[in-house]
Amino acid sequence: MAEAQLLRTRAPRRGRVFAVIYGLAVALLAIVAALVATTRFIAARVEVALPPQGRFLTVDGTRLHVIERGPATGEPRATIVFIHGASSNATDPMSVMAPVLGAGYRLISIDRPGHGWSERSDDGQSSPRRQARALGAALDQLGVKRPIVVGHSFGGIVALALTLDRPDLAGGLVLLSPVSHPWPGGIAWYYTAAASSMTGWLFSQTLAVPAAAALLEPGAKAVFAPQAMPATYVEDARIRLLLRPSVFRANAQDIAGLMSFVEAEQARYGQIAVPATIITGDTDSIVSPTIHSLTLKRQIPGARLIVMPGVGHQPQFADPELVATEIGRIVDGLAGRGDAAAR
């Protein structure tokens, strides 16, 4: 009798535990489904609102999105190639520099693999070297030789890799708040989560994009600090292109692999043999000017360093005319020694 009573007591308890577990599982699945639906809705709206602005080139089976501007008539003064930073795309540098440089130059900006509207062939294309190789091949298709390469932030290490690996291609180098050396500390947890081979796909398809959408404006403002972000920056630079799962994850993979790359690459900077200017802000809290720009200046032979007082991580927005002047100075110097930048 006692055993029978005990069994009858345990059975309802097991039933209640099962019901609770089942209810939690259903609730969790509902939350995941809601996040997936929200992510797809946000991504679809972004793709409709921000279609490609340029044309596509196929490089090693991967489509790269290229934006070009140039003089309507006559020969350009030189060719300038922009390489954008993290959480960004090809429109970003073009939006601020094209109006200042004017119509005298041929301007080319390419979405790095996995960013903007460019495809990424595999996870290995998170490497700055692989990205530099793809951009170099795209420039070959465009018939570009000896351009001035302008790289911002993460685009700075890609520009360095391109210059080192393709000495036949780059004519000059302008680095804006570049990443170049190992730094203390790690990276934000959400980059690790999105880049992970175990959790990355699920995280990017569920929580990452809705959270990034909510934090996009505050995050962009933090990148500009202590300067104020231009009111229309997010729209003008098409930063919302980040709000797609594949792009968010590609960006995270780039950042997750960056430390190991610069640790190995830093010993090569002394081999750079083209005119180089480094421009940084002394209050940059994103990429330390001391760890990166000042050290890089000592390594690149003849490099010119400009430290802008009171400026953060966006020197090209703080003073685009200064950046344009430095680009023009390198172009004039190349012309003076008979090594003109590509037309």
Residue 9: inside a domain: no
**What CA–CA distance (Å, rounded) separates 114 from 134?**
11
Range of the domain at 248: 55-336
CATH of the domain at 164: 3.40.50.1820
- Placement of tokens 């440089």 in the chain: 101
pLDDT, position 339: 66
Residue 40: inside a domain: no
What Cα–Cα distance (Å) separates residue 9 from each residue in 5, 12, 14, 19, 306? Answer: 6, 6, 9, 16, 78
Over 80: is that where the pLDDT of 3 sits? no
At 302, is the secondary structure helix, strand, or coil? coil
Helix residue ranges per DSSP H, 61-199: 91-101, 128-141, 154-165, 189-195
Contacts of residue 258, defined as CB under 8 A and 6 or more positions apart, other chains included, come to 128, 154, 157, 179, 187
What Cα–Cα distance (Å) separates residue 211 from each residue in 35, 42, 89, 245? Answer: 10, 11, 20, 12
Percent of the chain predicted with pLDDT > 70: 90
Q: What is the token pair recorded at 125?
A: 């294309």
pLDDT digits (tens, 9 = 90+) for 16-34: 766 667 666 667 678 888 9
Over 60: is that where the pLDDT of 8 sits? no
Residue 134: inside a domain: yes
Residue 10: inside a domain: no
Closest to 158 (Cα-Cα) out of 79, 255, 92, 61:
255
pLDDT, position 161: 98
Q: How much is the mean pLDDT over the chain? A: 92
Over 70: is that where the pLDDT of 315 sits? yes
Contacts of residue 14, defined as CB under 8 A and 6 or more positions apart, other chains included, come to none
Closest to 174 (Cα-Cα) out of 335, 300, 309:
300
Residue 172: inside a domain: yes
Average pLDDT over residues 69-80: 86
Percent of the chain predicted with pLDDT > 90: 82
Average pLDDT over residues 285-311: 98
Number of domains making up the chain: 1
What Cα–Cα distance (Å) separates residue 213 from each residue in 34, 41, 278? Answer: 15, 12, 32
Residue 198: inside a domain: yes
Note whether 143 and 70 are within 8 A (CB): no
What DSSP character marks residue 145?
Answer: -
Residue 166: inside a domain: yes
Residue 38: inside a domain: no
Can you give 14-46 as a three-state secondary structure string? HHHHHHHHHHHHHHHHHHHHHHHHHHHHHHHHH
pLDDT, position 7: 46
pLDDT digits (tens, 9 = 90+) for 170-211: 999 999 999 999 999 889 999 999 999 889 999 999 999 999
Average pLDDT over residues 129-152: 97
